[in-house]
Amino acid sequence: MNTLRGKITAITLMVIALLFMLIGVLQYTFMKDFLYKNKAEALHAQIRTWPPDLIFSHLKEPIGPRPGRAIIFQPGMIVSYVDQTGRQTLLSDIDVDSQLAPIISAAQYEELFEQFRNRNHKLFYRFTDAEGNAHMVVFRDMSGRDMPSMLLQVSIELQPLQAQLYTQLGIYIAVALIALAAGTVLMLLSLRKALRPLNDMIRTVERTNAQNLTEQLPMMPQQELQQLAAAYNDMLARLEDSFDSERLMNERMRQFIADASHELRTPITSIHGFIEVLQRGAMHHPKQLELSLKAMEQESTRMKALVESLLQLAKLDHTYQSSLIEEFSLVELDSLVISMKLQLDMMAGQRTVQFNFTEKDTYTILGSKNGLKQVMLNLINNAIQHTAPSNGFITITLEKNLEHVILSISDNGVGIAKEHQQHLFERFFRVDKARARTSGGAGLGLSITKSIIDAHHGHIQVSSDIGKGTTFAIHFPVVTNDNND
C-alpha cells in the first residue's frame, strides 16, 4: 500500500465501490417504488373489473369456501368491506381475525375515510399483520346506492415483491463484485504499463552521481512525467554547470596559489641571499653593504606591492565590491580625467599624454571616483611600461552613444600578440615575465582593473597589433532615470 501503484489502485477501487454502492441503493429504491406502484395499479385495475352488484351479492352468502361464486379472488388476497366505524365484512375466504390479515385500528380507518372524502388518499397503504409481515392495502370508495360511506379493502402480502427485490439486489451485487474484480485486474495491468516510464526514470536517477551528470531522462509519453523529466534534466544541467564552475574555481585557486607562491618566493629568496652575503663578511664593506641593503629594499618593496595587490583582489572577490557600490555617485569622467592630468604627466615622464574628447558633451556615469581613478592609473601605468620613454605617445579618449560612455586608453607601444590578448585579465599573467618582474609588475593590475569595471556593470575590450600599439576600451552604462534613482 506504500507504493504509488497500490495507492492509486486502492483509491480507484474505493471510488468505484462507492459508485457501485450508490447505484445499488438508487436502483433498489427506484425498483421498489416501481414494483409497489405497478402492483398497486394492477390491484386497482382488477378491482375496477368487479361489478358492484356481484360484490354486494357476496355479502349475503355464508362465510367459507365457495367455489361456485361469480368472483374468484387470488390466493392470499384478503377482500372485505369496511364501514365508518371500522367494522369489516369479509368477502374473501380468509378470516378477518386471521394472523395473516393486516392490523388497522379504528383511528386509522377514520383517517382513511377523511382522506377519501377530501380526495387526497394514496395509491396504496402499508400495514403489518400480527406476525410483523408487511401488507399492501388498497381501498375503493363504494359509497352510493344503499351502502353509505363504505370502503372496499383489498390487501396482499409484500413478501413476494420483497423477495423479487432481494433477488435482483443479489444479482446486482454479484455482477458488481465480478466487475470490481475484473476492473482490479485490468487496472493493475494498465498501471504497470503506465508506470513503466516512471520505473525507467527511477533506474536512471539511481545511476546518477557527481561523476555522471550527462545521462538525462528521455522524452516521456505522459505530460506530467514529461514535465518531471524536463525539470530533472534542467536540474542536472544546473548541477553540471555548478560542478564545472567549482572545478574551474578550484583549478584557478590552485593556479593562483602556485603563482602567488612563486612570485613571493623570488623576492624572499633574493633577500635571504643578500642576508647570507652580509653574514659572510660583506657587511664590513660599506659599498657592498649599501648595495645589498638597496637590493633588499627593492625586493621588499616589490613583495609589499604584491601582497597589497593580493589583498585587494581578495576584497574584490568578497566584500569590496559591495563597499565600492556604496560609494557610487554621479561622476563626470571628463572632469575626473582633467583633474588627474598633472599626476599622469608625472608618471609618463618624457612620454606624451594627450586628451581627446569634446568639452560640449557630458560624460556622466554612476560610479566610484576612487575606483575609476585606480582603473585609469593601472591602464596608464601599463601603457607606460610598454612604450619607449623618448617617443611614447598615450591618448585618453572619451566617447558617448545611446547606451554607453566609452573611455579608451591607447598607446604606440610594442603591442600584444593575438594569442596573449584573451589571457590579459587573468591573475599573474604577463606577456614578458622577465621584463615585468624587473619593472615591478606581478601580473595583477589588469585583473584588478577588470574586477572594478565589473562592479560598475561595465566591460573592457582590448585591441592590439604588434609594433603598432594597444587600445583598452571601457564601456560604462549611460546614466538613466532608473540609475539615478
Under 8 Å between Cβ of 149 and 143? yes
Contact 270, 295 (CB under 8 A): yes
SS3 180: helix
Q: Which of 446, 361, 369 is nearest to 406 (CA)?
A: 361
pLDDT of residue 316: 58
CA distance linking residue 316 with residue 370, whole number of Å: 14
The amino acid that residue 128 corresponds to is T
Query: What grid cell was written down for 219?
Result: 522524452
374 is written with which cell numbers? Answer: 585606480
Indicate the DSSP class of residue 114.
H
Question: What is d(CA 304, CA 484) in angstroms, rounded to the nearest whole number?
Answer: 39
| β 352-356/151-157 pair status | unpaired
pLDDT means per 10 residues, the chain with 485 residues, are 74 87 89 91 86 62 46 74 80 61 83 87 87 88 66 88 89 89 84 77 74 71 77 80 78 69 70 77 75 78 73 58 69 89 86 84 86 87 86 91 91 86 75 50 74 88 89 89 54
Q: pLDDT for 305-351, tens place per residue?
A: 777 766 766 665 555 555 566 678 888 998 998 888 888 888 888 89
What pLDDT does residue 107 have?
86
Kindly report the length of the chain.
Answer: 485
Give me the pLDDT at residue 64, please: 44
What integer pLDDT is reported at residue 396 of this predicted model? 92
Consecutive H or E run containing 353: strand 352-356
- In the chain, what are the domains? 4-166 (3.30.450), 226-312 (1.10.287.130), 327-484 (3.30.565.10)
Number of H helices, E strands in the chain: 15, 12
Please report where in the chains the cell 365484512 appears, as a residue. 89
Q: What is the pTM of this model?
A: 0.45
Q: What is the pLDDT of residue 405?
A: 92
Q: How far apart are CA 148 and CA 143, in angstroms?
A: 5
CB 392 within 8 A of CB 413: yes
